[in-house]
């Protein structure tokens, strides 16, 4: 008998492709294989029409215009295009400042570090102990030279939501553009660029039950008009911002995944929040020395990040082959490092190194959550006894 697959509780890392999304994609992986840039025959026309429909669906979901949607390979590329492209355009006009938070994803922090080497004034703002931004602290570093303020909508490690409306207004008041990495928020929050002061917004397909290898960058077209320098050249695709043959099947899948996630958002939010709270209660009843990391609210419903006193987290994970969970530490085989997010919250290094991140998702059941709690409690008790 084949071994049972581990219970998957790592939905912040990636999500499985929803069968309904796969069904929408399949024709464009086989008979409808045309290049959307081929304008001289029916194969290309049909591919172009499929991309246009998907672009329209994504735009409608975000309250945007179709011309404001740029397809990319994922949120990392979208973040890089937004940050590097905006800085290289705006620094020519005296705006050389870039502002972000200490808890951002490396797909934001690393491009900003690279821009710092190019001469950008990069301000990394510390957060409160619950992971939320201090708006007055943020306001104090945003000035008339700031090009972009970049703040993640929902944190990938601790699930904390940031006040996008207030941040957008701070950016607007100084003439800065506001970018948000919404990879974890896509399909979970009602992101509306026609109602919010968001100028650049990054999404990724595989975080919302769509395929890997596709993402979106929203680029505001007016009030203000955002203009970027492209990172790649060669064909002028996506209004010259992102050259390269469009992956039609992935784009169709992205649009389908976003639509489904938004349609089911409210029901799924309530279900996952209840499962997460039940998981925490079980763990809290079974273990002492347990710490909840990040604000309890507002927070992604499927996120639970905990630290456990006196536990070697790598040994713990090895003793839990039945669970697919992750550690809050960003580890490499050569030099394990504690999570920069947890350190930014003020956790000690030992606590930051002893964290577990549970990412509950569409396939998670109450039985899965109960089983996870039971196995973690058993494994922690065994390690402490040993």
> Tens of pLDDT along 176-214?
999 999 999 999 999 999 999 999 999 999 999 999 999
> How far is residue 187's CA from residue 207's CA, in Å, rounded to a whole number?
9
Summarised one tens digit per residue, pLDDT across range 261-288 is 999 999 999 999 999 999 999 999 999 9
Element (H, E) at 137: helix 135-141
Q: What is the mean pLDDT of residues 138-153?
A: 98
Q: In what order do the strands lie in the sheet with 97-101?
A: 69-72, 215-219, 200-204, 177-181, 146-150, 97-101, 121-125
User: Mean per-residue pLDDT for 34-47?
Assistant: 95
Q: What is the band of 330 on the pLDDT scale with cuts at 50, 70, 90?
A: very low
The tokens for 119 are: 């001469």
Mean pLDDT for the stretch of residues 353-381:
98
The percentage of residues in the chain with a pLDDT greater than 90, rounded to a whole number, is 95
188-214 exposure pattern, b = at least 16 Cβ within 10 A, e = fewer: bbebebeebbbbbbbbbbbbbbbbbbb
Question: Quick one: pLDDT at residue 21?
Answer: 98
Write out the two tokens for 376.
């973690």
Q: What was the pLDDT predicted at 327?
A: 87
pLDDT of residue 348: 96
Cα 82 from Cα 254, distance rounded (Å): 20
- Is there a catalytic annotation at residue 331? yes
Mean model confidence pLDDT for the chain? 95
The catalytic residue among 29, 331, 343, 377 is: 331
Which segment of 1-5, 145-149, 153-157, 367-371 scores lowest on mean pLDDT?
1-5
pLDDT of residue 334: 43
Question: What is the structure's pLDDT at 333?
Answer: 35
Given a cut of 80, whether residue 33 has pLDDT beyond it is yes
Residue 194 CA to residue 181 CA, distance in Å, equals 17
pLDDT at residue number 4: 72
247-255: average pLDDT: 98
Q: State how far the alpha carbon of 292 is from the alpha carbons of 103, 277, 284, 357, 358, in Å.
A: 17, 11, 10, 10, 12
Virtual torsion, Cα 348, 159, 294, 340, nearest 10 deg:
20
- 88-103 pLDDT per residue, tens: 999 989 999 999 999 9
Average pLDDT for 7-21: 98
Residue whose pair of structure tokens reads 């309904």 in the numeric block: 20
The string of DSSP codes covering 263-316 is HTHHHHHHHHHHHHHHHHHHHHHH-SSEEE-S-SSSB-TTEEEEEETT--HHHH
Q: Does 118 have pLDDT greater than 70?
A: yes
Neighbours of 316 (CB within 10 A): 19
Per-residue model confidence as pLDDT tens digits over 121-138: 999 999 999 999 999 999
* 308 phi, psi to nearest 5 deg: -125, 120
Give per-residue pLDDT as tens, 160-183.
999 999 999 999 999 999 999 999
* Residue owning tokens 């009602």: 190
Sheet holding 290-292, edge to edge: 290-292, 303-308, 355-359, 326-327
**Which backbone phi and psi does 282 adopt, to 5 degrees?**
-65, -45
User: Are 67 and 94 in contact, with CB atoms under 8 Å apart?
Assistant: no
Cis geometry, peptide bond prior to residue 298 (ω within 30 degrees of 0) = yes
CB 328 within 8 A of CB 343: no
Distance, CA of 38 to CA of 42 (rounded, Å): 9
Predicted pLDDT at 176: 98
Residue 331's pLDDT band, with cuts at 50, 70 and 90, is very low
Question: How high is the pLDDT of residue 3?
Answer: 61
| pLDDT at res. 1 | 38
0.75 exceeded by the pTM?
A: yes
Q: What CA–CA distance (Å, rounded) separates 58 from 179?
A: 18
Look at the block and give the residue holding tokens 């695709």.
237
Residue 328 above 70 pLDDT? no
Catalogue all structural domains in the chain, each as residue range(s) with its CATH number.
19-263 (3.40.640.10), 265-385 (3.90.1150.10)
Q: Flag whether pLDDT at 72 surpasses 50.
A: yes
């Amino acid at each position: 008998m084949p071994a049972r697959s581990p219970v998957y509780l790592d939905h912040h890392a990636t999500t499985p492709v929803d069968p309904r999304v796969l069904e929408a994609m399949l024709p464009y992986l086989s008979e409808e294989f045309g290049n959307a840039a081929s304008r001289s025959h029916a194969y290309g026309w049909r591919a172009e029409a499929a991309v246009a429909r998907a672009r329209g669906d994504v735009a409608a979901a975000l309250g945007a215009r179709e011309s404001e949607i740029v397809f990319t390979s994922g949120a990392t590329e979208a973040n890089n295009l937004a940050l590097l492209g905006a800085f290289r355009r705006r620094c020519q006009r005296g705006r050389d400042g870039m502002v972000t938070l200490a808890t951002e994803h490396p797909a934001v922090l690393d491009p900003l570090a690279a821009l710092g080497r190019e001469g950008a004034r990069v301000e990394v703002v510390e957060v409160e102990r619950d992971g939320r931004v201090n708006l007055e602290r943020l306001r104090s570093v945003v000035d008339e030279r700031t090009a972009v303020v970049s703040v993640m909508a929902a944190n990938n490690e601790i699930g904390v939501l940031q006040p996008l409306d207030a941040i957008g207004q701070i950016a607007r008041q100084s003439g800065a553009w506001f970018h948000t990495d919404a990879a974890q928020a896509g399909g979970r929050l009602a992101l509306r660029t026609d109602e919010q002061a968001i100028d650049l917004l990054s999404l990724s397909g595989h975080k919302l039950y769509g395929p890997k290898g596709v993402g979106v960058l929203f680029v505001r077209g007016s009030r203000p008009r955002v203009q970027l320098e492209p990172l790649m050249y060669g064909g002028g695709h996506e209004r010259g911002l992102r050259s390269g043959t469009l992956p039609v099947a992935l784009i169709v899948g992205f649009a389908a995944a976003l639509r489904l996630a938004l349609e089911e958002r409210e029901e799924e939010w309530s279900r996952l929040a209840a499962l997460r709270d039940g998981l925490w209660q079980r763990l809290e009843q079974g273990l002492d020395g347990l710490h909840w990391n990040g604000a309890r609210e507002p927070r992604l419903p499927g996120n639970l990040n905990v630290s456990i006193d006196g536990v070697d987290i790598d040994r713990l994970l090895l003793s839990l082959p039945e669970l697919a969970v992750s550690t809050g530490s960003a580890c490499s085989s050569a030099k394990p490092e504690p999570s920069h997010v947890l350190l930014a919250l003020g956790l000690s290094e030992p606590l930051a190194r002893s964290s577990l991140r549970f990412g509950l998702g569409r396939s998670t059941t109450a039985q899965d959550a109960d089983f996870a709690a039971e196995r973690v409690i058993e494994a922690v008790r065994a390690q402490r006894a040993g």
